[in-house]
């Protein structure tokens, strides 16, 4: 139903962490120690994720959601328990995507990138210190996010030099190549090595958003005013 948000729960093998994943909204994932708290955290992030849906032109669709529908629970990995982040494939991740569904997911991933770019341009260079992120400052967070994405892009045959990623033009070229490669793999029915394309998209979107939100949460700009 249009007003329902499908939710999956990824359960760590030792039951230490559970991740609530919204499979139809790439990037919207939150982890916690229990199923109930993971779902609560997911809902608490709706206002923040709404900014992404607005960039994607899907804000009305997202705002219409009134209920949650728990559609799947599946086993995670040791990394799920350790990080509280999704590291396993659900049955939904393995389902075939139509071309229209793929474009919708790519649009949301691109909106996550746009949101990340907006955040990195407006937050302070120094970040509030604390346990999250190991005390990294803004440029270190940006560098980490981009380097990890480079590794994932290689799964669909996109080798991008580190130097190319240092300019806005080079970063945009990388992102365009990444999306086009995903489209090409989809048209050939290929996976991103061992990763389903749907998982590659949502994991890329989540990693981008999680670090954008980290920068917002640790921004010292407001405190300095």
125-177 residue pLDDT tens: 999 987 665 689 999 999 999 999 999 999 999 987 777 787 899 999 999 99
User: Which residues make Cβ contacts (< 8 Å) with residue 121, sequence separation at least 6?
Assistant: none
For residues 78 and 106, membership in a common domain is answered with no
Same domain for 65 and 22, yes or no, is yes
Comparing C-alpha atoms, which of 29, 224, 28 is closest to residue 127?
Answer: 224
Asked if residue 207 is part of any domain, the answer here is yes
Residue pLDDT, tens place only, 191-215: 999 999 999 999 999 999 999 999 9
DSSP string, 93-130: TTS---HHHHHHHHHHHHHHHHHHHHHHHHS-SSB--S
Which of 83, 108, 134 is at the close of a domain? 83
Same domain, 116 and 77: no
Quick one: which of 6, 60, 2, 56 has its CA closest to 29?
Answer: 6
Within a domain: 165: yes
**Residues 191 and 215 both lie in one domain:** yes
Are residues 105 and 208 part of one domain?
A: yes
Q: Which residues contact 151 (CB under 8 A, 6 or more apart)?
A: none
CATH number at residue 67: 3.30.2390.10
Q: Which of 28, 54, 83 is the last residue of a domain?
A: 83
pLDDT band at 225 (very low <50, low <70, confident <90, very high): very low
Q: pLDDT of 98-128, one tens digit each?
A: 999 999 999 999 999 999 999 999 999 999 9
> Which residues are CB-neighbours of 210 under 8 A, at least 6 positions away?
85
Query: In terms of domains, do 38 and 126 share one?
Result: no
The domain of 214 spans 99-224
Burial of 68 (0-12, 13-18, 19+ CB in 10 A): middle
Number of domains comprising the chain: 2
In a domain, 79, yes or no: yes
pTM for this structure? 0.95
Here the tokens at position 165 are 């990623």
């Amino acid at each position: 139903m249009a007003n329902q948000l499908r939710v999956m729960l990824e359960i760590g093998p030792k039951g230490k962490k559970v991740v609530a994943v919204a499979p139809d909204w790439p990037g919207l994932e939150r982890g916690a120690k229990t199923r109930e708290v993971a779902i609560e955290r997911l809902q608490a992030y709706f206002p923040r994720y709404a900014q992404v849906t607005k960039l994607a032109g899907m804000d009305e669709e997202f705002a219409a959601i009134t209920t949650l529908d728990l559609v799947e629970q599946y086993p995670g990995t040791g990394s799920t328990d350790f990080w509280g982040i999704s590291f396993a494939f659900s049955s939904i991740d393995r389902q075939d995507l139509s071309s229209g569904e793929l474009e919708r997911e790519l649009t949301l991933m691109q909106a996550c990138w746009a949101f990340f770019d907006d955040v990195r341009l407006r937050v302070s260079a120094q970040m509030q210190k604390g346990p999250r992120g190991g005390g990294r400052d803004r440029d270190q967070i940006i560098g980490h996010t981009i380097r990890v994405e480079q590794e994932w892009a290689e799964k669909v045959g996109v080798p991008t030099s580190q130097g190319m990623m240092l300019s806005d033009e080079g970063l945009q070229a990388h992102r365009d190549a990444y999306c086009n490669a995903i489209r090409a793999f989809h048209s050939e029915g290929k996976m991103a090595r061992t990763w389903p394309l749907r998982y590659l998209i949502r994991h890329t979107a989540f990693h981008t958003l999680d670090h954008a939100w980290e920068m917002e949460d640790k921004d010292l700009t407001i405190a300095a005013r």
